[in-house]
Structure 1
Amino acid sequence: MTTHSCLPHTPTSVPAPCGVPQFDPLRVRGGRLRLRRALRRRRRAPAAVLAMTAAALAATGVAGADDPVPQPPPPPVREPQRPVPQLVSAPVRIADAATVRLLRPGDRVDVIAAPHSPAGPAGEARVVASAARVAEVPRPGETRPDGGALIVLSVPRSTATALAGAGLTSQLAVTLC
């Protein structure tokens, strides 16, 4: 066994200080960029592993014991659809042929019935059809000698009935919508 003897510390037992020579500071180029690249690479690997793990769990449908089983979203609530009225073609004789010449297929018109009687005006004018679509107009020269002209409107069946009845008892006129 060796025993160590403790020697008292004397000032001569410490080596003499040596000087550090003067030199310019070292500048390492690209050090920051290397550090940033290394950090990016270290972030990408864990992110890739997490993404692959999540995809695998989603594909197998593994859920924790406490996790609720995902339910499909409820179906969207739809408003009851109103039945679209079936449109029919209704031929209508308009009293003023000059007004009819202003019309084109696709125009929207209001049809107004003005009751007529041989003795003079018999009553109030009323709107028989509102915003009816013009389907056909007469070709030039296809007007009646008394000045009337026949147009075809696309309207619901109930409106077509009202137009036919009004055409028997009243003179019909149109206004562009």
Structure 2
Amino acid sequence: MYATTLMNQAGYPADCFADLYHGRWGIEELYKVSKQFIDVEDFHSQTERGVKHEIYGHFLLINLARLFETDTRNRLPCDDQPVESNATTSWPQTGKTLKINFKHCLSVVGRHLENLVLMPARILASWLDKAMVAVARIRQRKRPGRQYPRRSFKPRTRWNSFGAAPKP
């Protein structure tokens, strides 16, 4: 179900809205990472310039973590290989593929950011390999094309709508 103020059904067919929603997903994911994982709303600075500095630092950390995630994913075996030869990227006994856990990748990069910036170049190459192994260690199952409604397991608080029936 969707609601829109666009009245021209020929110019805006209903199926184009699903594509718009999925196209927006990357932006929503960045917002979630910024808000939940990095806590971008909790600033230490009290000036506009300082807050901008912190935001740029957060986005730099997210971009570095995405680079680590991409490079680590490229080093792993392809998902189209059989499960037996693809044991490092498949869920045991199910054949379901895995993806890099970005929250773990973010914590690895954040923990070792000082090493990345200050380490001598001759030592940096071996350290990068170790960091990639650490990033690849924690993965999660891919869940493509969810076809059922989401269900929240979050406990109800006293601030939820009083008198409203809990959602199933």
**Which of the five TM-score ranges fits, normalised by the shorter chain?**
under 0.3
Higher helix share: 2
Q: Which has the higher contact order (CA 8 A, sep 6+)?
A: 1
Normalising by structure 1, what TM-score? Answer: 0.18
Q: Which has the larger radius of gyration?
A: 1
